[in-house]
Amino acid sequence: MGFLFPPPMLSWLEAKGCEDIELVSPSAAAAGGRQCVEFDLDMGSAPGSSAVLCLRMRDPAALTLHDRLVLADYLAALRPFLDAPPAKGGRAWVTLPGTTVVEVEHQLRNHLNSLFMNAGVLGLRCEDRTDIEPILDQMESDAVGCLDQMRRLFPPPPP
């Protein structure tokens, strides 16, 4: 269920005693037999896109009325995104941990700074054309490093 809940929300649910999250059809939910806190979820305008989100809790009372309202508001806010057409290439939206974004930003800055510094050195040495090959190699390496970091955030679509 990570596609619906970013890591901080999953941690919050776990702290509240959530042991499992499951999407079931409305008919399966109506049949009962599950010990869970249920939320109706409209996942778009396509037929059959309604579901019931079941949160299996160690203690259902641990999820207060306020908590249930917060979750219901969050799920309602997802509706426009779930109803949106698929992204080009059919890739679904994802959430990323903040640590990954910070790390990638740091590495991109390092590679870009190095790239610009080497471009400056190259500009100074262009007059006599001595020893520019290592500088060009380093610039290429930094550009590839930038591309590798961007791929961590935006992996290429599957074939």
| Residue of 55, 50, 79, 78 lying closest to 67 (CA atoms) | 55
Burial 140-156 (b: 16+ CB within 10 A, else e): eebeebbeebeeeeeee
Residue 92 has pLDDT above 60, yes or no: no
Mean pLDDT of the 48-67 span: 81
Same domain, 77 and 107: no
Yes or no: say if 56 and 18 are a contact pair by the CB < 8 Å rule.
yes
Same domain, 40 and 85: yes
pLDDT score of 95: 60
Q: Is residue 159 in a domain? A: no
User: What residue numbers bound the domain in which 113 lies?
Assistant: 98-153
Helices (H) then strands (E): counts for the chain? 5, 3
Same domain, 110 and 76: no
Q: Is residue 1 in a domain? A: no
What digits encode the pLDDT tens for the residues 94-134?
A: 566 677 777 888 888 888 888 888 777 777 766 666 677 78
Same domain, 102 and 56: no
pTM equals: 0.47
Angle at 28 between CA 23 and CA 30, to 5 degrees: 115
pLDDT score of 45: 52
Separation CA 47–CA 45 (nearest Å): 6
Mean pLDDT of the 23-51 span: 68
Strand ranges across the sheet with 18-24: 18-24, 50-57, 37-42
Domain count for the chain, please give it.
Answer: 2
